Amino acid sequence: MSMHARIYQRTNPDGSIEYYNKKDHTRTPPSRADRGLSSKYDGMIERLSEKHGVDPRLVKCVIRVESDFNSEAVSPAGAMGLMQLMKETADYYSLRDPFDPEANVDTGIRHLKSLLSYFKNDVPLSLAAYHAGIGRVKKRMALPPIQATIDYVNLIMQLYTGEKKNYSEGAVKKLYRRVERDGTIVIYSK
């Protein structure tokens, strides 16, 4: 007689990974912060997140910030759908219709999972790579000095953890040089 057990994985905000074999049905009702994370896609997001071993709350936070749960959203940069996938990312994962909510979320979760794996479950670095590209994060192994990316990571992490914190402390700020009339060189950041 063969028995099958389902093992679930959850990545906590601190980056630790938790494995468990039973869904937690004793969770408390959604808090005020969670209300903005509810959508008609909840069941699908939870199912796909579970399938790929990514915390559904993190996925919902990404979708909330990326598209505000609008499956037809297109950014000025050309990112598409619920998880705002760029064409290159969609092509890499063989996504045919980026506006199909289920296919978009499945692809977005797969991409997010690959980033979490690459950055050893460091959620802020993975989010920065999701937003700005893996190369920009890999170069410094810190949030890149791009204000839009820093704001993006801080906003998602605030939704995800409930704590307001600046995750860009490790980001190298761009330095500027100014030469005064007397020849003094002034180095400063904006």
Q: What residues are labeled active site?
A: 66
Spatial neighbors of 90 by CB under 8 A, at least 6 apart, are: 80, 98, 107
Q: Which of 93, 88, 120 is CA-nearest to residue 109?
A: 93
Count Cα neighbours of 169 within 13 Å in the Cβ-side half-sphere: 3
Count of Cβ atoms closer than 10 Å to residue 17 Cβ: 13
* Full DSSP string of 42-108: HHHHHHHHHHHT--HHHHHHHHHHHHTT-TT-B-TT--BTTTTB-HHHHHHTT-S-TTSHHHHHHHH
Burial class (CB in 10 A: 0-12, 13-18, 19+), 142: middle
What is the residue type of 123? V
Q: Which of 173, 163, 87, 158 is CA-nearest to residue 127?
A: 158
